[in-house]
Amino acid sequence: MVPWLFFLVHALPPATRAAGWPAAWAGLDALEALGLLTTGMALIRRCTWLCLPAAITATLLIVDAWFDITTSASGPAVTAAVAMAVFPELPAAVLCAVLAVRTVPCSAPRDSGPLPSPPSSATVRPVRPQEAEGVRPERGRVAGLLDLLEDVLHAV
């Protein structure tokens, strides 16, 4: 990968014109909005898969900030790009990344013995964050959301 990076740095032209430029940026922004919406809904519902949209959204926001800054013309355009990165994009990315890391489902360590047979589908029940050890008892969706956000902000 490192040789490829060196090749790209020296081989790519300093400027280029892209025919689908507006569609590329609009598509990236639409994916970010979808990611934020999905992450928010998963957070409110305390879904066990919250880490997935949170990690994807954090990545999209960082990529957007990077490309906004590196593709901006000098002067006011780059100043605006840096301002957008510093205030909404990167803090939202950090929040999503912390959510992703803090909500990754953990499994108990297994011994070195043979793998257990899978349980029958009748006994399989998804584990909700409220049922995990150390999680505050259910006090309603808003209170639970505020508790989770408080935990995330303390982790940052």
Give the tens place of pLDDT for each residue, 19-71. Answer: 999 999 999 999 999 999 999 999 999 999 999 999 999 999 999 999 999 99
The answer as to whether 125 is a domain residue is no
Angle between helices 51-70 and 76-84 (to 10 degrees): 170
Q: Is pLDDT at 154 greater than 80 in this prediction?
A: no
Q: Is pLDDT at 156 greater than 90 in this prediction?
A: no
The answer as to whether 130 is a domain residue is no
The answer as to whether 56 is a domain residue is yes
d(CA 38, CA 41): 5
The answer as to whether 65 is a domain residue is yes
The answer as to whether 57 is a domain residue is yes
pLDDT of residue 119: 57
Domain count, the chain: 1
52: containing domain: 32-104+138-156
Beta-carbon contacts of 135 under 8 Å, excluding residues fewer than 6 positions away, are 129
**Quick one: average pLDDT of 74-95?**
96
Q: Which residue has the higher pLDDT, 2 or 129?
A: 2
Give the three-state DSSP class for 98.
helix
d(CA 135, CA 147): 10
Q: Is pLDDT at 112 greater than 60 in this prediction?
A: no
Q: Whole-structure pTM over 0.85, yes or no?
A: no
Confidence of residue 124 (pLDDT cuts 50, 70, 90): very low
